[in-house]
Each structure stands twice: as structure tokens, then as C-alpha cells.
A = this chain, B = another copy of it.
Amino acid sequence: MNAAIAQPAICSATGQVACSCCALRRFCAPPGLGLDPAALPAEVRRRRLRPGEYLYSRGAPQSSLYAVRAGFLKSCAPLSGGRSQVLAFHIMGDLLGLDALASGTHRSDAVALNACEVCEITLDQAERMMQERTALAAHMRSLLSGQVADALERMVALGTMSARQRVAGYILDLAGRWSGRGYSPNEFDLCMTRKEMGSYLGLTFETVSRMLSLFDAREWIAIDGRKVRIRDRAALQSLLAAA
């Protein structure tokens, strides 16, 4: 559902090597050169984040684009009264910060849920590269358009689907994203609280918990805390098929 990827990552023992499926790889690796994570262009900075640490906050001027190299982040929109809504979750290869291009300031908060490592490329640098190579500009347009398409898809989910459909759909979505990056398609870690998941899906955390318990009771999935194992994918999919 998030930024399209071209090929699955080959993940090293550290679990960090994501360059081959990174949304920004064309900015990092000039075509013709091999993808050598060690030979990082000088313009790309690595940044580490502790759990709970902010990558950027709403209102801050945008200075960079970010790609997730390792870890798990959320972006969320602060609401009145201290509440906030989760807009997206980001895993390795995903891109952050593209909603700020138009206004020049970030429209959302980006927070690490994990120990994260992100690659950062400054906007200035990206602009310069796109001016020199118009193919890069076209690639950036494609990335942006993909984010529009993703957002529209999620609007459909929020506008038309029941609680159980949303939860089932999200599990399948996450599974697909992990498997697209070379991980098991049937077993993964949610990396988020029920509350965050509910906020993302437009549900309360109690409802999320109930749905997960329901799916577990019906032996469609197995849950242990935040670890999920899909036991009956077809059952989950048939939930979504129902209009």
C-alpha cells in the first residue's frame, strides 16, 4: 500500500540493508554503478533514531527527504485536545516527508516506534539532482503519484469498510509489505500498540483488540502480543471480498 518497490531486499545479518528496495535508491546510486551500500554518496546522511524520537514535527520547515533503512515509524497528524491520528506506518524502503513539498513545512509528525535508521537527503540536493537529470524528476513525480494513489485507497477503506474488514485488510497489507521486502509473508511483528493501529484504522483500541481476539478464536490468525501469524489467509481475504 505504501511507496512502490522494485525488487525484494536482500537483507544482511544486521537487518539493515534495504538499499535495493529503497524508494530513494535512484538518488543514492547513480545508474551504472552497482548498489554498494558502503559507497554512499556524500550527500546522503544516515541518521539513527531511538524509540519515540521524532524525525520531524508538524510545522517544522522541510529541509530533507527521508527513506527508512531499518526500523518502524509512524507519521501522524496532531488533532485538537492532544489527540492525534496516525496517517501511515513506514518500514524499510518507505519514503517520508513528501507531503511537505507544496507548503514547505511538514504537515505531520514522524516518530520512530523502534530503533530506526533513516537515510536523509537534503531538499536542496534533491532539487539539484533533479535539475541535472530530468529522469530523476520523473521518478520523483512517480513516487508522489504513488503516494496519492495510496492515500486514495486508504480513503476507500476508511469510508466503506467495517471494523473487521479494516483489521483484516491491514493485516494482509502489512504481510504483503514485509514479504515484498524478503520477509515471511505469514509471520511478522505489528511493531505498534493497539491504540496506534486503531488510530490508523479509524477505530478504538478496544475494537482492534476485539477483532484480533475474534480472528484468533476463529483460528484465522495467531496472536501473541504484537506477533502475528496468519493461519488462514483465504478467510481474511474473503472478509474483504464481501461488498
Contact = CB atoms under 8 A, between A and B. Distances in A.
Interface residues of A, number: 47
A184 to B, nearest CB: 27
Nearest to A149: B99
Contacts of A154: 155
A176 interface: no
Given A145-B100, A149-B107, A241 B80 contact: yes
Contacts of A201: 159
Contact of A138 (B4, B80, B127, B160): B127
A148 B243 contact: no
Contact of A83 (B134, B140, B144, B243): B243
A20 interface: no
Query: Interface majority SS on A: helix, strand, loop or mixed?
Result: helix
A241 B85 CA distance: 16
A202 interface: yes
A24 to B, nearest CB: 15
B102 A159 contact: no
A151 interface: yes
Contacts of A77: 152-153, 156
